[in-house]
Structure 1
Amino acid sequence: MVSPTSHRSAPAVLTVLGELVVDLIPDRSADAGPEGTAPRYVARPGGNALNVAVAAGRLGQPVRLMARFGRGPLAGNLRRHAELSGVDLSGAVDSGDPVSLAVVGLAADGSADYGFHVLGAADWQWTDAELAAGWSPDSRAVHVGSISSWTAPGCEPIAALVERLRAGGDALVSVDPNIRPMLAEGFGNTAADVRARLDRLVAAADVVKVSSEDLAWLEPGTTDLDDAARRWAERGPAVVLLTDGGAPLRVVPSGGQVWNVTPPTVQVVDTVGAGDSLAAGFLSGLLRSGVTDRAALEQLTDDALDPIVADAALVAALACTRVGADPPTRAELDAARG
C-alpha cells in the first residue's frame, strides 16, 4: 500500500516502471550470406522502461527502475546496461521467467518495426506485493507505459499504484501508451481491453506522451493531430506531448492551446528509443526545475515549459543519430545545445 509522504529536500527521484526487452537490431554493414538468407543482428538492451531509465540516468537525473529481470543468456547485459548509466535497481525483481525479445526491422528512413517473442516473459507478472515492496517514497515522479501497462496480469497492479499516487499527490504520474499492434491484438489482449486499460491510466496521469503511431491504432481515422492533442489534454493530464516522427512535436498544457516544437535536424540512423528518450528528457527537466507535484506542473508558464520541451526534443534527436536505444549524456546534450 502506498501512503502519502511529504516532500523532501533530497534530489527528486524519478521511478520508471515497466519492461526490459532485448532488441535484435539488423547490422546494415553486414551481408546476409551467400544465399541472402542469413541476416546479421546485434543484441542491444531495450524496452520502454529500461530506455527511459537509462536516458534519465545519463542526463544526471536520480532514477530508479522497477523492472522484473528475467533469465536467459542476455539477462545480465540488461542489468549491466542500467548500472552503467547510474540507474538504481533496488526496486527491481529477479524472476525465473524468460527475458522478452524483439526482432527489429528498419525502413530506409530509420523508422522501426517490431516482431516480439514474449510468451511467458517476466515483464507482465507484477503483483501488488512486488510493487509495494519496490516503491520508494522518495520518488517524485513515476513513468509507466508500453506493453507492461496494458497486458494482464501485471497491468492491474500498475494501474492501482498510479491511481493511489495520483489520489494522494505522492508523485507526478507519466504515461506513454507505446502501442505495439502485434501484442495489443494478440498475446491474450484484445483491442477493447487495451483501450480500456489505457483509459484508466490516462485518467490518472499528469503527463502523457503519445505518438501519431499510437493514435493510428487507438483512434483509427484520426487526421487532425492538433484536435487529437486537445482531446487528450481534456482527459485529465496537465500536459500532453504528441510526437509525429520528424514533424513538429505538439505540446498541450491543460486548458491551453496547442503549440509546436520543431525537432532539431539530425542525420537519422534509426528511431529506436527516440520516444523513450524524449519522455526521459521531459521528466528530468521537470524535476530539475522543481516541478514535483500536480499544482506546480499546472502553474508552469509556457515560457518556463518551452526550454524543458526543447531539451527533451534534442535528447530524442540525438538518440536518433546512433544505432539502437543509445541516448545522450548530459555533457553531450549541453554540447549539442551550444
Structure 2
Amino acid sequence: MSSDSAVLSVLGELVVDLLPDSSADAGPQGTAPHYIARPGGNALNVAVAAGRLGAPVRLLARLGTGPLAASLRRHVELAGVDLAGLVPAAEPVSLAVVGLGADGSPDYGFHVQGAADWQWSDAELAAVLPAGTAILHVGSISSWTPPGCEAIARLVEQVAASGRALVSVDPNIRPMLAGGPVGATLGNTPEDVRARLRRLLARADVVKVSAEDLAWLEPEALDDLDATALRWADRGAALVLLTDGGAPLRIARPGRSLLHREPPRVEVADTVGAGDSLAAGLFAGLLEAGVTTRAALQDLPDDRLLPIVDDAALVAALTCTRVGADPPTRAELAAARR
C-alpha cells in the first residue's frame, strides 16, 4: 500500500475474545466450560472488516506480548490490512472473556490492566500514521483510557485542524472499564471518560453511537432517540449514525431531516463486531465514492449517502449471522446484495 494513497487509518486496541463454545460440554461437574480464542477489539474488527471489503486500510495498534499476539497479527494480515501501523510493545495483549445472552448480545469480562493498548505516545503515532490518511477512525477503550488516550486526542485534534481527512469517533463504551473498581485500576472514572470523549467528539466529522452507549453516556437521551440523533449532529459532526440493535438505524446530519433505515433481517448467531462492521462498511463506501473531506461529506446528497449506509447495514447483518466478529468479504457482500 502506498502511504500517499487514500487510506483508512484505524487507531485502537487489539483484544483476544474468549468466546463460549456451545458445541462442547463443561465437564462432568459443569466447571470446565470450553472457550474459543478469536481476534477482536474495536479497531481490529473495523480494520479487518474494511480490508475484507477491499478498502485500503492500515491498523494503528500496539501489538503486545503473549502466545496469542501472532494470531492477532496473522488475522489482520489475511484481511489485506497494512501491517506497517503495528507497533511492537512489551506489555501484554488485552483479553476479554465473552458471555452471550439469549439474543446473541455479548457480556464482557476484561483482563486488561497494564496492557499494551493504553500506552500510546505522540512519537509512536506520528511514526505510523500514513501520509495518505483520508479517514481516521478512533474509539472504544483506548480512546478514553490513560495514558495513551491523551496522545490519541492530540492526534485527532491535529488531523481535524489540518482538514486533510475525515475524523470518525465511536465511543463504544464498556461500563466495567469506564468506571467502578475495574475502571479505577485503569485510571478511568465516569466523569473523566465523558470528558475525554467530549474532547474527541468536538473534532469528529463522523460519529457512530449506539443506544447501549447512550444508556451509559446520557441515560435521559434514550427517551427520544430521534431527538438525540439530531442533537448529536448539531454538536458539530457532519454525520451521526445511531444504532439500536435490530431497530431502525438513525441517520442525522446538521440542517437536514432525520432519516431511518430498516436493517436487514437475518438469523442472528451473535452480535459481536456488528457495530464495528457497520462502521467499516460506511468507511469503505465513502472511500469508494471519493468522500474523504468534511466538505465532500456535507455536500453528499442523501440519495448517494443512503446506498452507502444500506451496504454498511448489510455488512453488519451478515456479521451477525456468524459466531464472533467474522465480517463478510466484498464478494459475499455483493452476493447478499443481489
TM-score by length of 1: 0.96
Q: Which residue does 2:311 correspond to in 1?
A: 311
C-alpha contact 2:105 2:271 (8 A) present in aligned 1: yes
Q: Which residue does 2:159 correspond to in 1?
A: 165
SS of 2:85's equivalent in the other structure is coil
Please tell me whether residue 147 in structure 1 is matched to residue 146 in structure 2.
no
Residue pairs, 1:54-65, within 5 angstroms: 54-65=48-59
User: Residues of 2 paired with 1:256 and 1:160: CA distance?
Assistant: 31
Q: What runs of 5+ residues in structure 2 fail to find an aligned partner? A: none
Q: Which residue does 1:44 correspond to in 2?
A: 38
Q: Which residue does 1:28 correspond to in 2?
A: 22
SS of 1:23's equivalent in the other structure is strand
User: Residues of 2 paired with 1:174 and 1:303: CA distance?
Assistant: 22
Please tell me whether residue 114 in structure 1 is matched to residue 108 in structure 2.
yes
Please tell me whether residue 69 in structure 1 is matched to residue 68 in structure 2.
no
Displacement of 1:91 after TM fit?
Answer: 1.8
User: Residues of 1 paired with 2:56 and 2:220: CA distance?
Assistant: 40
Q: Which residue does 1:284 correspond to in 2?
A: 284
User: Residues of 2 paired with 1:209 and 1:232: CA distance?
Assistant: 10
Residue pairs, 1:1-338, within 5 angstroms: 11-185=5-179, 186=183, 187-222=186-221, 223-338=223-338
Q: Deviations over 1:199-222 (max 9, x none)?
A: 011110000000000000000233
Displacement of 1:320 after TM fit?
Answer: 0.3
SS of 1:24's equivalent in the other structure is strand
Amino acid of the structure 2 residue aligned with 1:204: R
Amino acid of the structure 2 residue aligned with 1:81: H
SS of 1:260's equivalent in the other structure is strand
- 1:135–1:337 Cα change, 3 Å: same
SS of 2:39's equivalent in the other structure is strand
C-alpha contact 2:16 2:39 (8 A) present in aligned 1: yes
Amino acid of the structure 1 residue aligned with 2:12: G
Q: Which residue does 1:5 correspond to in 2?
A: none
User: Residues of 2 paired with 1:91 and 1:74: CA distance?
Assistant: 18
Displacement of 1:11 after TM fit?
Answer: 4.5
Aligned sequence identity (%):
73
Displacement of 1:9 after TM fit?
Answer: 12
Displacement of 1:80 after TM fit?
Answer: 0.1
SS of 1:156's equivalent in the other structure is helix
SS of 2:173's equivalent in the other structure is coil
Q: Deviations over 1:249-302 (max 9, x none)?
A: 100122212111111000000000000000000011011001010100000011
Root-mean-square deviation (Å): 1.2
C-alpha contact 2:178 2:193 (8 A) present in aligned 1: yes
SS of 1:283's equivalent in the other structure is helix
User: Residues of 2 paired with 1:291 and 1:278: CA distance?
Assistant: 17
TM-score by length of 2: 0.96
User: Residues of 2 paired with 1:88 and 1:192: CA distance?
Assistant: 36
Q: Deviations over 1:133-169 (max 9, x none)?
A: 1111111111000000000001111111111111111
Q: What runs of 5+ residues in structure 1 fail to find an aligned partner? A: 1-7
Amino acid of the structure 2 residue aligned with 1:309: V
Displacement of 1:326 after TM fit?
Answer: 0.3
Q: Deviations over 1:54-85 (max 9, x none)?
A: 00000000000100000001010000000000
Count of aligned pairs:
331
Q: Which residue does 1:3 correspond to in 2?
A: none
User: Residues of 2 paired with 1:145 and 1:139: CA distance?
Assistant: 17
